[in-house]
């Protein structure tokens, strides 16, 4: 077994960590800091632009469309570095949604005309993408969606509603899933690429939420929204294949972002345990404290191995449904557990916003819900075990 990365891969990862530590901290205009943006629920717009200029928005996109052409292993390393270096998890989440749930489907299923029209602008950050599957009545049971796409001549008319859509309030490109025939179930689900200015598309303001407050989330309402056949991504009925393919990418790369955040938390927590004195000694010298930190490290180690294994399998063209379900489940539970420990180990300071760990805790909780809830991951694991 070989767990090593090449010097080039390590240098690539370090360049992203250095970039994130330098350029993805403060915005030029208020609210400047991550804490202030979190409080005001404000997107880090210039951070997004800097990430585009650095090339992060084109990580897996081939050079012919302006991207870096990196494989899934390098994307995993890159997202890990982004999470470690950038304290604004909402920015990382927005980047991940843009790249892995909108660019990747276009790259994998788009026509040459769609790819060359959309991908270069997305890589430059001029187009912001989002992915609209969830509906008020169709969440975990995603393919029971009610949004319809009715064929009229060479056009499709879309009607329905979408909710919890990451990036929607700031997006100008919407990958919307609708059914061409409800009776067909998953086989009728079809993806459509829709411009924000299309008549019939209404996008809500950002929804107020528990965490990831700097990543705007919204609702869509589609009323007789008319698109040409050329807006279909892939083929009619290919929506479920698109969704499954992008979920595997997201379950590797988005969760690598969370792994990076856990590493940042651990470094800061070790330092805190050394510096903070009670009963005349560093709190890190109390076994109850040091064991919690050892457990945090252990969860990071296992998360990393699971994520790297999924990336390694995918880079070799192997399907990894069991491994990516287990990895999504374990990394997200670890993220929540480590964030809770990071708060607990700071005592009252951990509970106060000024010390920044309570934000990581709020940001971590959504990871158990999006990309398929952890209950659904357990269902997938069980069904792949023949249950």
Ligand X SMILES: Cc1cc2nc3c(=O)[nH]c(=O)nc-3n(C[C@H](O)[C@H](O)[C@H](O)COP(=O)(O)OP(=O)(O)OC[C@H]3O[C@@H](n4cnc5c(N)ncnc54)[C@H](O)[C@@H]3O)c2cc1C
Alpha helices in the chain (DSSP H): 7-23, 34-40, 45-54, 72-85, 89-98, 104-109, 112-123, 239-275, 287-315, 321-344, 347-351, 357-365, 374-384
Segment interacting with ligand X, rule: CB under 6 A, options 8-16, 130-138, 200-208, 277-285: 130-138
User: Which 154-173 residues touch ligand X, going by CB under 6 A?
Assistant: 164-166
Which of 235, 375, 383, 384 is in the footprint of ligand X by CB under 6 A? 375
Choose between 13 and 97: whose C-beta lies nearer to ligand X.
Answer: 97
Structure tokens at 380: 């997938």
255 binds ligand X (CB under 6 A): no
User: Which 3-62 residues touch ligand X, going by CB under 6 A?
Assistant: none
How far is it, in rounded angstroms, from Cα 22 to Cα 41? 22
Q: Annotated catalytic, 150? A: no
173-179 and 129-132 strand pairing: parallel
- 329, 381 Cβ separation under 8 angstroms: yes
Place of tokens 């819900």: 369
Which of 72, 133, 253, 357 is in the footprint of ligand X by CB under 6 A? 133
- 162, 193 Cβ separation under 8 angstroms: no
Choose between 97 and 190: whose C-beta lies nearer to ligand X.
Answer: 97
Task: Tell me the residue nearest to ligand X as measured from the CB.
Answer: 139
131 binds ligand X (CB under 6 A): yes
The residue from 103, 135, 219, 250 that is catalytic is 250
Segment interacting with ligand X, rule: CB under 6 A, options 6-14, 29-37, 279-287, 369-377: 369-377
Question: Whole-number minimum distance, CB 293 to ligand X, in Å?
Answer: 28
Residue 385: is it exposed, middle or buried by C-beta count within 10 angstroms (0-12/13-18/19+)? exposed
* Catalytic positions, written as ranges: 250
Residue ranges in contact with ligand X by CB under 6 A:
97, 130-134, 139-140, 164-166, 212, 217, 366, 369-370, 373, 375-376, 379
């Amino acid at each position: 077994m070989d767990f090593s990365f090449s010097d080039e891969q390590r240098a690539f990862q370090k360049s992203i960590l250095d970039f994130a530590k330098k350029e993805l901290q403060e915005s030029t205009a208020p609210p400047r800091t991550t804490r202030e943006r979190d409080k005001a629920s404000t997107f880090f717009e210039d951070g997004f632009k800097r990430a585009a200029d650095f090339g992060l928005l084109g990580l897996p996109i081939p050079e012919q469309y302006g991207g870096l052409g990196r494989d899934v292993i390098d994307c995993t390393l890159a997202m890990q570095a982004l999470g470690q270096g950038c304290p604004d998890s909402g920015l990382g989440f927005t980047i991940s949604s843009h790249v892995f749930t909108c660019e990747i489907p276009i790259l994998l299923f788009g026509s040459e005309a769609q790819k060359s029209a959309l991908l270069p602008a997305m890589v430059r950050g001029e187009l912001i993408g989002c992915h609209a599957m969830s509906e008020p009545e169709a969440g975990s049971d995603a393919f029971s969606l009610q949004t319809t796409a009715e064929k009229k001549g060479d056009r499709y008319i879309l009607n329905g509603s979408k909710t919890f859509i990451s990036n929607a309030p700031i997006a100008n490109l919407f990958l919307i899933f609708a059914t061409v025939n409800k009776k067909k179930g998953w086989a009728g689900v079809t993806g459509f690429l829709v411009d924000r200015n299309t008549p019939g598309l209404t996008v809500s303001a950002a929804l107020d939420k528990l965490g990831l407050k700097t990543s705007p989330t919204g609702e869509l309402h589609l009323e007789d929204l008319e698109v040409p056949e050329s807006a279909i991504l892939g083929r009619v009925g290919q929506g479920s294949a698109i969704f499954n393919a992008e979920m595997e990418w997201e379950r590797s790369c988005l969760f690598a972002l969370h792994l990076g955040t856990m590493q940042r938390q651990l470094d800061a927590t070790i330092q805190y345990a050394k510096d903070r004195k009670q009963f005349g000694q560093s709190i890190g010298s109390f076994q109850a404290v040091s064991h919690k930190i050892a457990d945090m490290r252990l969860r990071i180690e296992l998360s990393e191995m699971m994520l790297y294994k999924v990336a390694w399998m995918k880079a070799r063209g192997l399907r990894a449904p069991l491994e990516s379900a287990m990895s999504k489940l374990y990394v997200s539970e670890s993220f929540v557990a480590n964030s809770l420990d990071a708060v607990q180990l700071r005592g009252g300071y951990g509970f106060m916003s000024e010390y920044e760990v309570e934000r990581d805790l709020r940001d971590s909780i959504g990871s158990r819900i999006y990309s398929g809830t952890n209950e659904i991951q357990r269902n997938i694991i069980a069904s792949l075990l023949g249950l």
